[in-house]
Amino acid sequence: FFQKILTAVKNWFTLFGWSTGQNPISIPYSLRSDVSKVWMNSSHKKVFKQNLGKGSKTVYDMLLHLSGQLLPGITSSHSLPLDPVERMSQLHWECSTFLAFLKSQGAYLPHVMPEFLLEPNDYKQWIKVQTVLKVNMKHSDIFSNKHLFILEDSVFETMSKRAWTDVLLQIYKVFVLPRIFSHNVTDLLNLESMQSIPRIKSDPLSSNIYSPYERTILTWLNKHYEKNRKTVWKDCQKGGVPPMRWIVNFDQDLLDGLVLAAQLASYCPYLIATHFVRMYTNPRTPAQLLHNCLILVNAMRAVRLAIDIKV
């Protein structure tokens, strides 16, 4: 399940996360090392220069594209010290600033530590420095409430992958989902056919799982499914018209493909006769579920939807 989420996140940010078009990413590898580091000499010391926004595509470029903002203190002429400890400290500060900015925008990331976003070698360097500091200051209160997670290499990679995936999901939540809105949600819910379906509340505190924007999408799904189910499958020979249902989540309620087919039929009704009429309207076996999803994917490809979907 987690691997499917990771793949979906990677595909979306590859396709839509950048101002210059598609840019393949890998989680967490390219996100940790996407800032270009180039040796160069200055009159005072050697530094690593980070070329942000100048040919390289970094997580900060992604953030700028999706939010319209650069992180405070991070500019296109950014430099990293050559000294490994100073360099690690700078990177850790950047990750801390990155997380703090996301949290200030509404992201929920209490489980993601800045060190989980570092490269493995920088993480080891950070652990080494923190261990020394903790030993030297064991009688101080500075570290009394600070947890130090010392992870093996394989465990760190797993943690880093999960941390970066959750960061991208929260970026999507706070910068992309708020663009979802409806001018006539109230009018849509007043349809006669919708009267018997429980309303999905838009109150921000009515759910501890879905945001108001996600609940707007659920309302949209309910509206189009109930409006179109009798029209789309009135001539279906594989089960007849599907029953009324209340769509309250984005996983179980969408598994059979019928809800998404109803949405697509609202905008592309010509797909009904060529594709959707052949779907099972009461699928009971994995083979029938797969059959429906294959038809849905073929319908999306027929109308050139730029989404890389694999069944």
Q: Which residue has the tokens 């590859």?
A: 14
What are the pLDDT tens digits along the chain (311 aa)? 888 889 999 999 998 999 888 889 889 888 887 653 433 334 444 444 554 444 567 888 888 889 888 787 776 556 676 777 888 888 888 899 999 999 998 898 988 999 999 989 888 988 888 887 766 666 555 444 466 778 888 899 999 999 999 999 999 999 988 887 655 544 444 544 555 566 666 565 556 677 778 888 888 899 889 889 999 999 888 888 998 888 888 888 999 999 999 999 988 999 999 999 999 999 999 999 999 999 999 999 888 876 666 65
How many domains, in total, are found in the chain?
2
Same domain for 213 and 192: yes
Question: What angle, 0 to 180 degrees and rounded to 10, lies between the N-to-C axes of helices 286-302 and 258-267?
Answer: 20
CA distance 194 to 186: 11
Q: How many Cα atoms within 13 Å fall on the side-chain side of residue 181?
A: 3
Same domain for 97 and 77: yes
Same domain for 124 and 161: yes
Q: Which residues pair with 52 in a beta bridge?
A: 56
pLDDT number for residue 72: 78
Same domain for 199 and 174: no
The domain in which residue 158 lies consists of 1-42+54-179
Same domain for 164 and 207: no
* CA neighbor of 116 nearest in space, from 99, 135, 132: 99
Q: Which residues pair with 37 in a beta bridge?
A: 50
Q: Which residue has the tokens 């109230």?
A: 186
* CA neighbor of 276 nearest in space, from 221, 235, 245, 219: 235
**Model pTM above 0.85:** no
pLDDT number for residue 259: 94
Q: Which residues pair with 51 in a beta bridge?
A: 77
Domain contains 103? yes
Domain contains 308? no
End residue of a domain, out of 179, 203, 234 = 179
Q: Which residues pair with 40 in a beta bridge?
A: 47
Structure tokens given for 167: 């960061």
**What strands lie across the sheet with 77-81, from one edge to the other?**
37-41, 46-51, 77-81
Structure tokens given for 130: 């923190």
- Secondary structure of residue 158 in the 3-state scheme: helix
Same domain for 37 and 25: yes
Angle at 24 between CA 76 and CA 1, to 5 degrees: 120
* Contact indicator for 54, 80 with CB cutoff of 8 Å: no
Domain contains 49? no
Same domain for 276 and 204: yes
End residue of a domain, out of 132, 149, 179 = 179
Same domain for 111 and 21: yes
* Contact indicator for 98, 113 with CB cutoff of 8 Å: no
End residue of a domain, out of 179, 197, 232 = 179
Same domain for 225 and 105: no
Same domain for 234 and 169: no
